[in-house]
Amino acid sequence: MASGCAVYPDNHGRYDRNYGPPPHTAKHGYRQPYGGHEVRYDAHLGVYLVVGMPDYYYLDDQYYRYDRRRNHWYYSHDLDKDWRDYDERRLPPGLAKKYARRDKHRDRNRDRDY
């Protein structure tokens, strides 16, 4: 007879983003209804994409929205209201990386001599 032991990270009821989406949600690429809209987990970014709303994301009971015209981030606990300024230095790592590349690319094109 064999016996064994399993060790799980102690996260006090919260999930660890290093292990992917929370266990009660869909895995990468699959859509799931949430709060009257659909979200899809993106494992590369480590956040949920709000389906049909470009530059809107969800993670840890918080929505993030990127305003391209103002090059500025906002956050809210409700998708439909109460958007507040957000410090981009505090973004989830995947979003920070994605949008930093986008800004660098835009700056590089702006500096070209035509």
Residue with tokens 């996260």: 11
Residue 19 pLDDT: 42
Residue 2 pLDDT: 53
Residue 31 pLDDT: 66
Question: Could you tell me which of 67, 66, 49 has the C-alpha nearest to residue 58?
Answer: 49
Intervals of the chain under pLDDT 70: 1-33, 101-114
Residue 96 pLDDT: 93
Residue 114 pLDDT: 41
Residue 32 pLDDT: 66
Residue 95 pLDDT: 93
**Alpha-carbon torsion 20, 22, 24, 28, what sign?**
negative
